[in-house]
Amino acid sequence: MSFSITILGCSSSIPTNDRNPSGQIINYHDKLYLIDCAEGTQLQLRRYVGRIQRLHAVFISHLHGDHFFGLVGLVSTLHLLGRNKVLHIYGPQGLEEIIRLQLSYTHTELIYELIFHLTNPEVSELIFDEGELQVTTIPLDHRIPTHGFLFREKPGLRKIKKEIVLSEKIPYSEYENLKLGADYITADGTVIPNSSLTVSPPIPRSYAYCSDTRYTESIIPLIKDVDILYHEATFLKELSEQATLKYHSTAEQAAQIALLSGAKKLIIGHYSARYDDLNPLLEEAKSIFPETELAQDGLTMTVRKKLVTE
Ligand SMILES: [Zn+2]
Ligand SMILES: [Zn+2]
């Protein structure tokens, strides 16, 4: 079961020669989920992912242009390419109005259905629950209402040890209970513990996208022990006053959040266009949280399955 993230843009509000503003693709079991959609995102999608009709849902973190100015263009391209599947879009107040107004004034009558789901950036809420995947919002501290997104697998069922279950002659009708963790009691009253009949499922995987935000420890309980944390790092710490004033974070602050939340890995991005060389941002973050990597346009990371050792 694949679970990967591709960075489509890692610049802050102004694009540079090799950095587009925000956009990321989550590929989960071959379905594509887009997070943020800056101007140019559809080109990046074409360049780094392809097959954009596999786009299943779109999640917009807030209504600054560097996070959604590409959305109407993408919606229009899907229409021109003949999409016939519904597209679900999750985002804050105003997003639906803006997109529908653009479609209306351009006399674009879509041949597929757009369904908007209004989010509330004030609270953390479960906004998507389909198959094995759930998405929860992460309220952030930014100049306008903003949230991030936590993509997390649901815990799987325990796996049956076939040979043992067969040799104990356990009826098939009991298998579901065993998968849920129940012990088995034989006809003569002997208890066979579940742990000898099943093995634990893999640990659920997770990815947190923390979009534009000031340093805020309020997000830590929401992203506890996440496998990969993306956190914005617009500035170096020498500009921390500016970061606070503009409601952004420094690389050091992103690393501090990764450390306190117990993340396995940190990806920083949303760099100010003033930085040509990103290594000072990387070094600053690594001095606090060594497992840090720089987001770069086109970078793909896989969230790997981990088995429980018993
Ligand atoms: Zn931004
Ligand atoms: Zn912003």
Measured in Å, residue 195 CA sits from the centre of ligand 1 at 48
284 shares a domain with 194 = no
CATH number assigned to the domain comprising residue 246? 3.60.15.10
167 shares a domain with 94 = no
Give the count of domains, the chain.
2
In a domain, 143, yes or no: yes
- Ligand with minimal distance to 38 CA: 1
205 shares a domain with 176 = no
- Ligand with minimal distance to 144 CA: 2
For the chain, give the percent of residues with pLDDT over 70.
99
d(CA 82, CA 113): 12
State the angle between helix axes of 71-80 and 41-48 in degrees (0 to 180), rounded to the nearest 10.
Answer: 60
- Ligand with minimal distance to 273 CA: 1
Average pLDDT over residues 228-233: 98
d(CA 7, CA 297): 5
Measured in Å, residue 211 CA sits from the centre of ligand 1 at 7
Measured in Å, residue 242 CA sits from the centre of ligand 2 at 14
Catalytic-labelled residue, pool 66, 212, 227, 297: 66
Q: Does residue 310 have a pLDDT over 60?
A: no
Average pLDDT over residues 256-284: 98
253 shares a domain with 133 = yes
d(CA 66, CA 12): 7
pLDDT band for position 265 (50/70/90)?
A: very high
Concerning whether 141 is annotated as a catalytic residue, the answer is no
The whole-model pTM stands at 0.92
39 shares a domain with 101 = yes
- Residue reference for tokens 């950095």: 19
Measured in Å, residue 263 CA sits from the centre of ligand 1 at 23
In a domain, 309, yes or no: no
- Ligand with minimal distance to 14 CA: 1
171 shares a domain with 41 = no
pLDDT band for position 77 (50/70/90)?
A: very high
d(CA 44, CA 291): 26
Residues 6+ apart with CB under 8 A from 264: 225, 226, 227, 228, 291
298 shares a domain with 279 = yes
Question: Looking at 144, 171, 199, which one is the last position of a domain?
Answer: 199
d(CA 46, CA 8): 10
Q: Does residue 187 have a pLDDT over 90?
A: no
Average pLDDT, the chain: 95
Measured in Å, residue 65 CA sits from the centre of ligand 2 at 8
Measured in Å, residue 64 CA sits from the centre of ligand 1 at 6
* Coil, helix or strand at residue 186: coil
In a domain, 64, yes or no: yes
117 shares a domain with 45 = yes
d(CA 176, CA 192): 16
Task: Look up the domain containing 50 and give its range.
Answer: 3-156+201-302
The length of the chain is 310
213 shares a domain with 191 = no
CB 41 within 8 A of CB 66: no
Measured in Å, residue 113 CA sits from the centre of ligand 1 at 28
In a domain, 19, yes or no: yes
Question: Looking at 199, 222, 251, which one is the last position of a domain?
Answer: 199
Q: Which residue has the higher pLDDT, 250 or 169?
A: 250
209 shares a domain with 192 = no
278 shares a domain with 211 = yes
Q: Which amino acid is at 16?
A: T
The whole-number pLDDT of residue 105 equals: 98
49 shares a domain with 180 = no
In a domain, 139, yes or no: yes
In a domain, 268, yes or no: yes
d(CA 9, CA 137): 21
Question: Looking at 142, 170, 199, which one is the last position of a domain?
Answer: 199
* Coil, helix or strand at residue 288: coil
